[in-house]
Amino acid sequence: MSLPQITIYDTLAGERRPFQPIEPGKVRMYVCGVTTYDYSHIGHGRTFVSFDIITRYLRHRGYELTYVRNHTDIDDKIIQRANEINDDPIALSARFITAFDEDMERLGCTSVDVAPKVTEHIDQIIEITQKLIDRGHAYAIDGDVYYDVTSFEGYGKLSKRSLDDMRAGERIAVDERKKHPGDFALWKGVKPGEPAWPSPWGDGRPGWHIECSAMSSTYLGANFDIHGGGADLQFPHHENEIAQSEGAHGTDFANYWMHVAMLNVDGEKMSKSLGNFWTIRDVLEHHHPEALRLFMMSAHYRKQVNYSQENLEIARERMQYFYGTLEQIDQLFRRLPDAPAADPDALNQWLAAAHKAMDDDFNTPQLVAVLHDAAREANELLRQKKLAQKPDVLAKLAAIQEFFVKQAEFTGVGGKNPTEKLNEITELLTKTYNIDREQIEALIQERNAARDQKDWARADAIRDELDKKFIVLMDSDEGTHWRIQPPPIEA
């Protein structure tokens, strides 16, 4: 099978490049996970939804992909948080790993193959650290081991920074023993009350950066296809990974570097001090996971996206529009004696449009536009009269239905069971708008009784009363169903 030509923006090259995996048909990808000392926020969610879609898409297009995303379960921040609440750092981290995995499951980010933990790879970390010492890239001082940034000729090539302008990176303490201010810790000597492991340089624990070099090479080899993460990791974390990995193995590290841009909240950088910090589970209390995925897809992964309640409501409306369209198609087909076959030409045209968008550096906003075009055409077709007597129209509707199912393989949005998804949105909206389901059901029963008695005035009055509560009624042969439909955002 011939594989598609996909273009990826490579941060290291600073340009789009045709994607050519090291081994034809197979892709090896490593994405930096989170440091698990707290619940993950929606910025993390954006990064991992983006790479979940990228992974799903490459598999959809025929690639065999191995996706590794790590857990950092020992680090300065974990130790600090554990000390604040008088807890064990490893136990604290384990709880938040469980919470993170739950969040990812709810978001549909289930494409990861291997999720290694730092504490389970101490031997590999020690091995690569020793190799760097042996090759003259690192030096040990009083139980600590530092990487000598001046020993690596390419240092700064990812972040495009001059070594003379660099300062010690985040999480790297200033230490006068270092040869250069930018030298960073590979191994930290033991301190009272901290977790520690034995090493040739004394008991201690890994530095932040070395863990990813060790784990990526363990599962993907010294040279692999794609390395990704949030844009905030480009320097110092990813820069230091390159220096460590290429210094230790003497070969190129990752062939393509992908970075997801930051997420702002109401136009500002998300921060607990500003009171605009949202965890993934905070958001999913009131918003459907697929609506959140659609929100993430509304901006290209390399462009900043602004999180706001308004933008999430827009994504929810979009989700309802897609699933509402698919539900109408379902209802139509259930009334027919036989389900129509999809028009192959129409299906291929829709898929080709989706593939064109995604082949161009995973352009999800363009893909969303294709989904809108498909839903709009479906609604135009559904408005035609005597549809049961128009096999060509039914075949086009079946093609759109199948297109939504197929594209859901990589977007995680707009697949099967539209009625179920719409009911899930309704359930969430009852919380948001404080709607009493039993009261609504009682009013609907009263309206049905009024209709049976041909009391149209009372029936219309109840509908008007429900309309003020944003309740939309749908009468069919199967009975009366209801949904919450808030006013459009523009209103």
Pull the structure tokens for residue 235: 């320097």
Residue 166: pLDDT band with limits 50, 70, 90: low
Q: State mean pLDDT over 270-282.
A: 81
Q: What is the mean pLDDT of residues 378-391?
A: 94
pLDDT at 228: 98
Locus of tokens 């109840």 = 462
Choose between 182 and 147: higher pLDDT: 147
Residue 298 has pLDDT above 60, yes or no: yes
Rounded distance between C-alpha atoms, residue 284 and residue 96, angstroms: 17
pLDDT in the model for residue 4: 84
Residue 93: strand pairing partners? none
What pLDDT score does 171 carry? 47
Residues of the chain with pLDDT > 90, as a percent, come to 78
For 105-133, how does the pLDDT look when each residue is reduced to its tens digit (9 = 90+)? 999 999 999 999 999 999 999 999 999 99
Tell me what pLDDT residue 172 has: 47
67 touches 112 (CB < 8 A)? yes
pLDDT of residue 163: 79
pLDDT at 269: 80
Burial class (CB in 10 A: 0-12, 13-18, 19+), 100: buried
Q: What are the backbone dihedrals phi and psi of residue 488, each rounded to the nearest 5 degrees, phi first?
A: -55, 150
Structure tokens at 49: 């939804």
Which H helix or E strand runs over 479? strand 479-484
Confidence band of 33 (pLDDT split at 50, 70, 90) = very high
Q: What is the pLDDT of residue 41?
A: 94
Q: Quick one: pLDDT band at residue 275, thresholds 50, 70, 90?
A: confident
- Does the pLDDT at position 229 exceed 50? yes
Could you tell me which residues are beta bridge partners of residue 208? Answer: none
Among 205, 183, 238, CA closest to 75: 205
Q: Crossing angle of helices 418-432/309-334, nearest 10°?
A: 140
Q: Which residue has the tokens 């209801």?
A: 482
380-386, Cβ contacts within 8 angstroms, sequence gap of 24 or more: 382/325, 382/328, 382/329, 382/332
Q: Which amino acid is at 305?
A: V
Query: CA-CA distance, 165 to 341, in Å (whole number)?
Result: 64
What value does the mean pLDDT of the chain take? 93
pLDDT for the residue numbered 273: 67
pLDDT value of residue 474: 78
3-state percent helix, strand, coil for the chain, nearest multiple of 5: 50, 15, 35
Is the confidence at residue 380, as pLDDT, over 90?
A: yes
pLDDT score at 167: 53
Structure tokens at 94: 């384990």
Q: How much is the average pLDDT of 370-381?
A: 98
Q: Give the SS3 label for residue 91.
A: helix
* Phi, psi for residue 474 in degrees, rounded to 5: -130, 110
**Extended strands (E) in 52-174:** 64-69, 138-141, 144-147
> Residue 138, Cα to own-chain centre: how many angstroms?
36
Per-residue pLDDT of 388-418, as tens digits, reads 889 999 999 999 999 999 999 999 999 889 9
Mean pLDDT for 447-453 is: 90
Backbone angles phi, psi at 483, to 5 degrees: -140, 160
Q: What is the pLDDT of residue 489?
A: 57
Examine the pLDDT at 475 and tell me if it is beyond 50.
Answer: yes
The yes-or-no verdict on residue 491 having pLDDT over 90 is no
pLDDT-derived band at 465, boundaries 50, 70, 90: confident
pTM of the model: 0.92
110 token code pair: 């289930």
- What's residue 388's pLDDT? 87
Q: Give pLDDT tens digits for 75-84.
A: 999 999 999 9
pLDDT in tens, 342-370: 999 999 999 999 999 999 999 999 999 99
Give percent of the chain with pLDDT exceeding 70.
Answer: 96
* 174 band by pLDDT with thresholds 50, 70 and 90: low
Rounded Cα distance, 238 and 218, in Å: 17
C-alpha to C-alpha distance for 148 and 133, rounded to whole angstroms: 10
| pLDDT beyond 60 at 490 | no
Domains of the chain, start order? 7-274 (3.40.50.620), 320-421 (1.20.120), 433-484 (no CATH)
